Amino acid sequence: MFVPKIFVSSTFVDLSAARGEICKWLTGLFGTELIVMETFGSDAAPPEINSVRRVRECDLFVGIYAHRYGTIDESSGKSITELELDEANGALSAGTLREILLFVIKQDSSWLSEYKETDPKALARVTRLREKAKLHTCTLFKVRDDLIFYVTREVYRHVSQFLERSPL
């Protein structure tokens, strides 16, 4: 039986509690294999390379973007989160990734506002990431519970489609 692999991408400092809840729901409801940084363990490659490489292993990419830009890879000047989205876009174009699901916090949301970027460069980078996300159909969320519901709902919808198409 087909067991989809799902990569969950987001910044960690602000979204760690929500990520944990989402991961619990996804594994509990769907029995999916999650590819998340919390389980990467030791690797000879630096985090930005390891993380991007892991995107290529998944069937479904879930990107969650709030108010932070995240840890920046010095060689590219992009956050690991943005590099993951870039890799997912490439994998989708190449046909090795089945779907990209993106969830973006509404600009006026006060949830996680204490994590909002204030540096003009960081704000510009967050804007760039949001613009990349808008190249897809994104689901907007305002609070934690909505985010968890929307991710679970959309993953369910796509996993159901995968299972309908896969041989038993």
Which range has the worst mean pLDDT, 20-34, 80-94, 121-135, 147-161? Answer: 20-34
Q: How many domains is the chain partitioned into structurally?
A: 1
Domain residues for the domain of 139 are 5-165
Separation between Cα atoms, residue 79 and residue 125, nearest integer Å: 9
Please check whether residue 73 is in contact with residue 83, taking contact to mean a CB–CB distance below 8 angstroms: yes
CATH of the domain at 123: 3.40.50.10140
Please check whether residue 99 is in contact with residue 58, taking contact to mean a CB–CB distance below 8 angstroms: no
Q: Report the pLDDT value the prediction gives residue 45, as an integer from 0 to 100.
A: 62
SS3 content of the chain, % helix, strand, coil (to 5): 50, 20, 35
Please check whether residue 158 is in contact with residue 99, taking contact to mean a CB–CB distance below 8 angstroms: yes
Separation between Cα atoms, residue 56 and residue 60, nearest integer Å: 10
- Average per-residue pLDDT in the chain? 90
More confident residue, 65 or 71: 65
Contact residues for 134 (Cβ-Cβ < 8 A; gap 6+): 104
Instruction: Dump pLDDT digits (tens) for 24-63.
Output: 998 887 778 888 766 555 656 666 777 888 899 999 999 9
